Copies of this chain bind each other. A is one copy, B any other.
Amino acid sequence: MQEDRFTPPPGAFTRSVPIRFSHCDAAGIVYFPHYFDMFNGLIEDWYSEELKRDYASLVMGNRFGFPFVHIECDFKIPSKMGEVIDLTLLVERIGRSSLSIVIVCHRDGLIRLRARMVTAMMSLETRKPLPLPEALRAAIEDYQRKTAT
């Protein structure tokens, strides 16, 4: 089906992940919580490499937190040890303090899984939501624009 195919838009942030022994369960395929860990790693790299905001400094320095408030994920094709999968990050919606991200996991043009993850920026000190800082918001909007499909 058409909806199972995916080509990242030009400029989209994509990273490859090798499926390791440690990702796999007794069936030799990825144990699903590991995907969410991969997604978090992708988001970290996107902040640091694409948005040029060092993720570790945001968390440990600024004491910003990015907890998820909503996650949904459709799993279509399992991934096996030794395969390499590609993860592409797209921005769906930018709120005042929230950010809705889509992560597509694909290989050879076929979608393996697809997640929508909504995060809300907060202060790790007060545990209250924080509006996205203006410069960060602008950088995310730029990324959203250049990867719009």
Contacts and interface: CB of A to CB of B under 8 A. Distances in A.
A86 interface: no
A57 interface: yes
Interface string A51-86: 000111101100001011111111110101111000
A26 B54 CA distance: 16
- Chain copies in complex: 4
Interface in A18-36: 19-22, 24-29, 31-34, 36
Contacts of A27: 26, 59, 65, 124
Contacts of A9: none
A82 B57 contact: yes
A69 B69 CA distance: 21
Contacts of A33: 22, 33-34, 36-37, 40
A56 B82 contact: yes
